Every structure is written in structure tokens, then in C-alpha cells.
Amino acid sequence: MRTAPQIIRRGVEDYQASFDAMRAYTDSRTADTPDQLWIVEHPPVFTLGLGADVAHVLNPHAIPVIQTDRGGEVTYHGPGQVVIYLLMDLRRNHPGARLFAREFVQKIEQAVIDTLAAYNLAGQRKQGAPGIYVSTGPWQGAKIAALGLKIRSNGCTYHGVSLNVAMDLAPFSWINPCGYEGLATVDMQTLDIAAPLSDVQSLLADKLVEHFA
């Protein structure tokens, strides 16, 4: 029987502190270590994936730029954004962890789509561009959620997903988000949804648990 991941609320935390803690937790895992979802909110920060081209950081405006070990390109985290890190052992329930990696990503994306749907917002995947995009209306095609993961050879994961709720969106224009020049980025507030950040944090965490339990 599968055990649902634990939900850990870490509050507002500097990105580097979260990054260090994720790696330490994963380094020390055993077969009995519980899977966890960490809910955090970060002060402004740009993060680079392993294959990121630093040229996609057009002008950081004094916001820190941190190299990480996740997949993907450059993204922005800041106040008013839900960030959930998934510290999970894929082999616990799926011995073929490599085969399960794609399904793992799809489950995360579906949890975001389900969360948006609860607020009557339509989100969709885009082929070859991880994350979730607005699928209808004047902001169709704009990115509202980003995804970046690290899956170690032993099947243990960290990093995770971010969903834009009520942010200062200007820093997204100071980068090529996820390596795409001119990619529009939006938040729920701009789509006329006034939702407390804590409510969206809880809902997305519950949807993730629902998909992984």
C-alpha cells in the first residue's frame, strides 16, 4: 500500500537554504525515509538549471542568480508564488524509476491543471516545453507554472513546481523564461482570480498528494 507524502510548510525561506536542505535530506535518505512535499515562498531569486545558458538572464537587476542541479533553463521565484518541492523515492512504488519519470512529471502537471480548474482557469501542457500554460482567453499561451526536477540515479527526487498566484511579474521580463525569448508569463491575479496564497498552496499540495497517494 502506498503512503501519502508528508506536507511540510517551511514558510518564507531563502532559496539557497531550501536548496541545501533538499540535497541534505536526499543525501541522508534510507528505504524508510518518508516522502515529503515542502511548501515554501522565496524572496526574489533567479535560478539556473544544469543546462541553462546564462545569456538568458538579460538583466538581473540585483536579484541573486543561483546555479542549481535541476533540469531546465532559467526561471524566477518570488513573493506571491506557490513553490512545492517534491522529495520522493520513485522506486518505492515503481521499481523502474526511469520509466516512471515521465509519468511523475505528468502527475505534477495534472495537479497544477486541477488546481487551476478549481478556480475556473484552464491550463494546458505544451509539447516540448515543461510547465503549464493558459489555454483560453487573452492570455492564451502564457506560462503560469514552471517545473524543474532532479531525479537521482537511485530514483530519489527533489526540486519541484511553482505556480504564479499574485506576483510582481516584472522580473520575468528580465530573463528569457525557461530559455524562450519573449515568452509571456502570467499569474492568477492577472487572470482576475483573487486567491490567498495559503489557499492555493494547500490546494496544490492536496492535489499532488491525491495524484501520488
Q: Among all residues, which ones are annotated catalytic?
A: 178
CA nearest neighbour of 25 among 72, 89, 106: 89
Element of type H or E holding 16: helix 15-27
List, in order, residues 6 or more apart from 202 with CB less than 8 Å away. Answer: none
List, in order, residues 6 or more apart from 203 with CB less than 8 Å away. Answer: 115, 118
